[in-house]
Structure 1
């Protein structure tokens, strides 16, 4: 197995809100990849004493440990337990019902000798390559399918869409959200390699349209995760003035990419 992992903050003056981890069980068989993209909070606050990096570190650490050690649980059950464990760590001090309580998107994969399981929540991405070279994106596209008018302001999103039916879901403080994730299982023989990415890295395809998912996967496989992030940074910088592609989005977003050859 070969792995390549890069996680870079969008702004060196701010902590990286992403989390990435690769877990290998002591038995030496199988493994897991965990990628979280912490949701940057609004200036109005979150009702929580803790930062988004605190949250993603707690949730990501729990996911990595549980995914490796609890192979009898489904990935949805693991996500629910990890959310509960993280919520319990600050339930006595923070307002966890706040719509902007610390939260994150999730891309999670686990493999054994026979199967590859996956879970995606919100706009993180998982890509898998089969023996014939075909690249398949495994996505939760609920956010992408919403009309832009519904996303015009943070207030509209929080009131009508965030972690609500008809909107989109993130991992925050409610374990029940785990049941809303996109999940599935593939035969191990059908997966030669996989990639997990936050939307700061998928900008290369989804925002700047430099290539499709297959082209992005080829870039990761041939040049590495560092090259993908560097190319995204170059595109973001070039678009800084015109904002033809970025629109209202921040110029540089935290970017994380994990590539694994099984």
Structure 2
């Protein structure tokens, strides 16, 4: 098995809000990957004493442990337990009911000799290469399907859409949100490779249209995760008219985890 992990901040002067890990059980049978994209906090605060990197480190650490140590617990249940564990660590000091309490998108995958499980919550992506070489993208597209008018301001998003029915969901302080994730199980023999990307890396496909998901996974396999992120950075700098980036920040934290099974 070959694995590769790269995470690069959007701004070297600011902490990276992403989290990524690969877990390999001591048995040597199977493994797991965890990718989180922390939601950048608003200027007026989150009701929490802690930073987004603090949150993603704790939630990601809990998920890394639980996906390996509890192989028979479904990924949605592992996410629910990890959210509850993380919330407990600061419920006595922070307002976890705040709409912008620290939160993150989630990609999880776990493989055993017989199966590959996956979970995606919000706008990161998991690419799955089948045994015949075809590539599919596991997406939670609820945010992408919302009309742009509903996303006009952060205030509208937080009041009407964030972690609400008819909107979109992220991992914050409510364990019940885990049931909203996109999940599934595939036979191990049908999966050749996996690639998890935060949206900062997925821009190569989703924003800049440099290729499709199969091209993206092929680039990571052939040239490595670093090559994908470097190409995204070059495209961001070249988009001086913001024809592709629009209102999005010029550089976002970009994380790629690749695993050949």
State the TM-score bracket (shorter-chain normalisation): over 0.9
Q: Which residue of 2 aligns with 1:123?
A: 123
Matched, 1:258 2:245: no
TM-score w.r.t. the length of structure 1 is: 0.99
Q: Which residue of 2 aligns with 1:235?
A: 235
TM-score w.r.t. the length of structure 2 is: 1.00
1:40-92 Cα shifts (integer Å, max 9, x gaps): 00101000000000000000000000000001210000000000000000000
Cα distance in structure 2, aligned partners of 1:44 and 1:256: 27
Q: 5+ unaligned residues in a row in structure 1: which ranges?
A: none
Q: Which residue of 2 aligns with 1:194?
A: 194
Cα distance in structure 1, aligned partners of 2:210 and 2:113: 35
Q: Which residue of 2 aligns with 1:26?
A: 26
Q: 5+ unaligned residues in a row in structure 2: which ranges?
A: none
Matched, 1:180 2:189: no
Q: Which residue of 1 aligns with 2:248?
A: 249
Cα distance in structure 1, aligned partners of 2:112 and 2:186: 11
What is the SS of the residue equivalent to 1:78?
Answer: helix
Cα distance in structure 2, aligned partners of 1:5 and 1:204: 17
Give the superposition deviation at 1:217.
0.7
Q: Which residue of 1 aligns with 2:91?
A: 91
Q: Which residue of 1 aligns with 2:53?
A: 53
1:23-45 Cα shifts (integer Å, max 9, x gaps): 00011101000000000001010
1:91-129 Cα shifts (integer Å, max 9, x gaps): 000000000000000000000000000000000100010
| Superposition CA RMSD, Å | 0.4
Cα distance in structure 2, aligned partners of 1:40 and 1:77: 26
1:155-198 Cα shifts (integer Å, max 9, x gaps): 00000000000000000000000000000000000000000010
Matched, 1:223 2:223: yes
Q: Which residue of 1 aligns with 2:145?
A: 145
What is the SS of the residue equivalent to 2:90?
Answer: coil
Cα distance in structure 1, aligned partners of 2:14 and 2:152: 25
The number of aligned residues is 261
